[in-house]
Structure 1
């Protein structure tokens, strides 16, 4: 789990924990299941309670710069979830470097960690290049995104530590700054990196507590990403048990594979229409887990076998019913 700082809760609290032996490690690792927060804001409370009731280990929000679809601020969603949930981890994937001032963000995240009593996981990344012209037009700095990411993480960690913080970087420099509140988790909430390129993946091993894979990435490319991460863990001499691997997965459960595929493909075709990076045609077959519960469970088992510590499932439609159906698939996966 993330640097040994992610509590999974007692085994009788309704949380699914699968014990598996992952590649590159001689120790048993645990695979947990989380769910992406979905639905209309008026149904969020029901969604969160149901996700916890059927046994999901965590709930995640997404920071999106997409202006085509309705999207609430992810930090406010997590604050809301902190007040409703009891034991689920709360995560965000991923906050974009430069989009928020790291000092302000540090306080926002510490506040959520306080409200949830230490259940927060923070995802960070540089975002996609095609977002930057619009951000720049709004006065948001977009230069040196990698430097902003690396320094931003360092700034937050410095401010989360006890006492006064000092920092001297290329973009951010300060001394004698004290921030309140401090997060419940010390030395701070675990930070995982969303990244795809080889340099960024290797950087994640160097500076973060883990890595998170995007849902729209085909299985073959994800395998390449996992191979790079494992190689860098070996090269750096870092204990694989100190670095968490998390993947996001679009999922749909229906009586037949064909019906589930059609539903997923229809939604992805709308969501990724005219996207300059991702190809819509045939996207469901490349990136999603779908079909009857038994087939979905087989897809989840493949991810577990690849050494994934956390699987974040994203129901695509009919969210309450899909949550229940995905719970069945997870139950089958953990029995296999």
Structure 2
């Protein structure tokens, strides 16, 4: 299967602690999605969101590297993906160290989905300048790539300086784990071309993007235009092959969902130039979560031939 499919791990659902907030839940759910054949399990990143956002349809998030470490310990083939890590929240060398350790100890299974984020109150709580987030994204990606070489390096960034530092061991994946650049703006598209391995878009209707402060991607033509823009920019800067397109989850598994509808949906994305996507399982029950994942594996993943 060349079209890859991920799924969102359910450990953020703290309203159902007995079902999803335990080591037993990590064991059961992670093994189920691996057995189902999902390419990756994904986690989100909100260390300290505002109460206002949480109370208006926001969500909590566990620490992404803690969760992926536990998932990695109970699986052997499942890729471990951040979707997304808000890169400017942390010193880039701290992030590079966490990524390198996780990739090394899970034998090269990390996929690093990255984004600039949009929650001003969370930025403020973390002491990071919200208006500088895009510049910090570019800077931090360059800093991490340098650290991942395993060689002595120097780098002067925003409020920090490396004067001859070294980070070992390096990630198993070379030169580093895949960098999936999130964001729907033209700047994010250029970043994907200049610094990333794939573009990681969030396909949502306009009413959602209005509240999330991100560019609208709701029609097929929006996707086609974005891919064309990346190809144009790649040619401009001399990149031979434009980034792949690995979308965030675009299909919902809830109730009596249709496997044929899922297959048709992913085939349509593939026809537009998308190389991967995902499915989100909505249930308040761990057993049902695993059952839905396994059904998706049998009825969808096993039948995708593109």
> What TM-score comes out, normalization by structure 2 length?
0.80
The SS at the match of 1:104 is helix
Give the number of aligned pairs: 271
Residue 208 (str. 1) matches residue 196 (str. 2): yes
- CA-atom RMSD, angstroms? 2.4
Mean CA deviation greater in 101-110 or 210-219: 210-219
Distance 2:139 2:274 in 1: 28
Distance 1:313 1:213 in 2: 14
For 1:285, the equivalent position in structure 2 comes to none
Residue 304 (str. 1) matches residue 270 (str. 2): yes
Shift of 1:253: 4.4
Distance 2:184 2:81 in 1: 19
CA displacement, residues 228-283 of structure 1 (integer Å, 9 cap, x when unaligned): 2233334444233x6221012243346xxxx66xxxxxxxxxxxxxxxxxxxxxxx
Distance 1:172 1:219, change over 3 A: farther
CA displacement, residues 19-59 of structure 1 (integer Å, 9 cap, x when unaligned): xxxxxxxxxxx222222212513312111111111211221
The SS at the match of 2:304 is helix
For 1:117, the equivalent position in structure 2 comes to 107
Mean CA deviation greater in 77-86 or 220-229: 220-229
The SS at the match of 1:206 is helix
The SS at the match of 1:144 is helix
Residue 47 (str. 1) matches residue 29 (str. 2): yes
TM superposition outliers: structure 1 runs of 4+ over 6 Å:
none
Shift of 1:149: 0.7
8 A contact 1:33–1:312 mirrored in 2: yes
8 A contact 1:294–1:332 mirrored in 2: no
CA displacement, residues 128-185 of structure 1 (integer Å, 9 cap, x when unaligned): 1xx1234214433434111211111111111111221111345543221112332222
For 1:187, the equivalent position in structure 2 comes to 175
Q: Which runs of 5+ in 1 are unaligned?
A: 1-16, 18-29, 261-290
Residue 37 (str. 1) matches residue 9 (str. 2): yes
For 1:326, the equivalent position in structure 2 comes to 296
For 2:42, the equivalent position in structure 1 comes to 60
Distance 1:54 1:170 in 2: 44
Distance 1:253 1:143, change over 3 A: closer
Distance 2:122 2:304 in 1: 44
The SS at the match of 1:324 is helix
Shift of 1:206: 1.0
Distance 1:133 1:226 in 2: 32
The SS at the match of 1:78 is helix
